[in-house]
Chain A
Amino acid sequence: MAMPIRSPKDFWAGLLYAGFGSAAILLARDYGWGSSSRMGPGYFPTVLGSLLLLIGVASFVRAFVARGEPIGGIAWKGLILVTAGTLLFGFLLRPAGLVPALVALILVSAAASVKFRFDWKAMGLMLVLVAFCALVFVKGLGLPVQLLGSWFRA
């Protein structure tokens, strides 16, 4: 490594911008450029993508010039469990119903917390929360989901 990265945050942010910018330019190739008086759907995204790419490069360069703070550890456990719990909720909601989806979301995401204990108190609170949601959203506001979905029907 010839040049050390002095500002890792700038480095990764630059990569992020450049990635999004390039993706926008690439995807917008198919959209029709038009002309500056009658712009096609690809005009605006391409211009914005190029600007973002430029900013990404600038941030990238700055990573080697200016000094910045380190990034610090990534909260992998929280990141994975909270995301997984949310995805699971979305997946379960229609076929399994609101109650199982909520239980899955709460249990999976709660496991991300170091302080969370699966004791009676926590289970009781979970039941209260699930009952509250069922009453307020489904019974009260008429949200069009079932409490127990088709998976639980004969």
Chain B
Amino acid sequence: MDLLNHLALGFTTAATAVNLFYCLVGVFLGTAIGVLPGLGPVATIAMLLPVTFGLEPVTALIMLAGIFYGAQYGGSTTAILVNLPGESSSVVTALDGYKMARQGRAGIALATAAIASFFAGTACTFLIALAAPPLSEVALQFGPADYFSLMVLGLVASIVLASGSLLHALGMIILGLLLGLIGTDVNSGLPRFSFDLPELADGVNFVVVAMGVFGLGEIIANLHDQSDRSLALTRITSLMPTREDWKRMIAPILRGTALGSALGILPGGGAMLSSFAAYSLEKKVSRHSAEFGKGAIEGVAAPEAANNAGAQASFIPMLTLGIPSNPVMALMIGALIMHGIQPGPSVMTEQPALFWGLVVSMWIGNLFLLVLNLPLIGLWVRMISVPYHLLFPAILVFCAIGVFSLANTQFDVYFMALFGVLGYLFRKLDCEPAPMMLGFILGPMMEEFLRRALLMSKGNPLVFVTRPISAALLVISAVALVAVLLPALRRKREEAFQE
């Protein structure tokens, strides 16, 4: 009955008027910021940190957490409406969400995202309440070799992301891996592909690439062909999912939640992979796999659930071990220290009200998100019917300011322009950017873990098969690779015969 006592403590902490108010403020701010392309939760939380100094620690943390998952949610809205993924997680949401929007089903896509996020958030809150400490112990079992094998699996999954030619999918993945290597090599400290620019010493930020390739690239392409666009948006069907939609989204939401929770607890950056993995999995198992990339509702439901579950689960290593698995969590830890609380294993026992208050507030926050966003859907849908020639300068402005705010440097704005040109080229050549973005995330992590694993094993490559987790992941990768390649090759043969 510990759980009930804990949850009761959490509710009495989180449901005070002050905490509810700041939870709402955080969620609202987060959504607003997430909707603005480019402006992410890291910059926002950093800027708002001083505001929280006057608050109680638990109140401050509730508000900051609200900004975090609010921003995750808001990011999907932009991805669906204007094909602008501001976070790694919403890259895949944009694939089918944006297609749905162009088919006049923007409202349904947004509602699906909201419902999937809410379900995943709720499930994950219970997961944290039930089993945070043992889960964090499990997560610690993942060594460098295991992470490397996980990245291999991610690489296989990235092939599934592409809907066109296999050759171009491979090309874009490798291009992404290479772009991800820009910056200082972790193992040797040597800057690579940086052309002696200190601004490239830490690599290119994901958001810079995404804003350039998706944002600017899309704008340039749309400007060329303005008549098309407004036409596609005239017939907006119902805003809410139909019975059929509901039926199709349930299983993907469940699978996405499970996958997101599992990957999210890994402190070594698993949460970033969750939405990609969920999308790839869904595309493989779905009965509607042919619709993926053309506006499949599963392609929105699964990654959105996985993304929110992963975001929520990344609190587990932060709260139980004091380990940040992403920059937002690092900021949260900074905020805790500034409030005189030392994050770590002792938080749960020494500050139970803080721990359980935060856990419960996450669920309340997710409820706020749902309540806040369902009525807003109509407004958003109307927003994209604004004539494009008036809308696009605003998008461009938010992209530019957002990208600048990442590190307060104009160089990121220049790089965004460069990637905008590249993004337009990709579009013209039918090279899909989504696999490239996953490669971009995987590249540096994969190399880092590979080299660290070999360094620690004194150069023995057998670690990858003797460690059970790693071996299991490699077997799954091999099976998945066969499952991915076979149909593609078969299709190719058929095509050859047809010609």
Contacts and interface: CB of A to CB of B under 8 A. Distances in A.
B171 A45 contact: no
B411 interface: yes
Residue picked from B193, B221, B411, most chain A C-beta under 10 Å:
B193
Nearest to B431: A13
Nearest to B219: A82
B396 A105 contact: yes
Interface in B420-471: 420-421, 424-425, 428-431, 443, 447, 450-451, 454-455, 458-461
A129 B167 contact: no
Contacts of A102: 397
B410 interface: yes
B442 to A, nearest CB: 11
B284 interface: no
Contacts of A82: 216, 219-220, 223, 396, 420
B401 A133 contact: yes
Interface SS of chain A: helix, strand, loop or mixed?
helix
B450 A78 contact: no
Given A48-B181, A86-B400, A141-B48, A62 B224 contact: no
Chain B interface category by residue count:
35 or more
A59 B417 contact: no
A16 B424 contact: no
B482 interface: no
Given A45-B192, A71-B428, A90-B411, A83 B216 contact: yes
Contact of A37 (B43, B430, B454): B454
Contacts of B168: 13, 59
B223 A129 contact: no
Contacts of B410: 90-91, 93-94
Residue from A49, A52, A82 having most chain B Cβ neighbours under 10 A: A82
A2 B499 CA distance: 22
Contact of A90 (B417, B420, B451): B417
Contacts of A116: 389-390
Nearest to B459: A37
Interface in B186-213: 187-188, 190, 192-193
A24 B178 contact: yes
Nearest to B36: A136
A24 B221 CA distance: 28
B223 A31 contact: no
B178 A52 contact: yes
A72 B390 CA distance: 26
Interface in A111-131: 112-116, 122, 125-126, 129
Interface in A57-75: 58-59, 62, 67, 69, 71-75
Contact of B413 (A17, A90, A114): A90
Nearest to A14: B171
A137 B38 CA distance: 13
A122 B47 CA distance: 32
Contact of B389 (A9, A37, A90, A113): A113
Interface in A1-49: 9, 12-13, 16-17, 20-21, 24, 27-28, 31-32, 35-41, 44-45, 48-49
B177 interface: yes
Interface in B88-116: none
4 smallest CB-CB distances across A and B, nearest first, come from: A37-B459, A90-B413, A75-B224, A78-B223
14 contacts: A24-B178, A31-B185, A44-B181, A45-B193, A48-B177, A48-B178, A52-B178, A77-B223, A86-B400, A90-B417, A94-B410, A102-B397, A106-B397, A143-B401
Given A45-B192, A82-B396, 14 more contacts: A27-B193, A38-B454, A48-B181, A52-B171, A59-B168, A72-B428, A75-B224, A75-B424, A90-B417, A105-B400, A106-B397, A129-B393, A137-B405, A143-B401
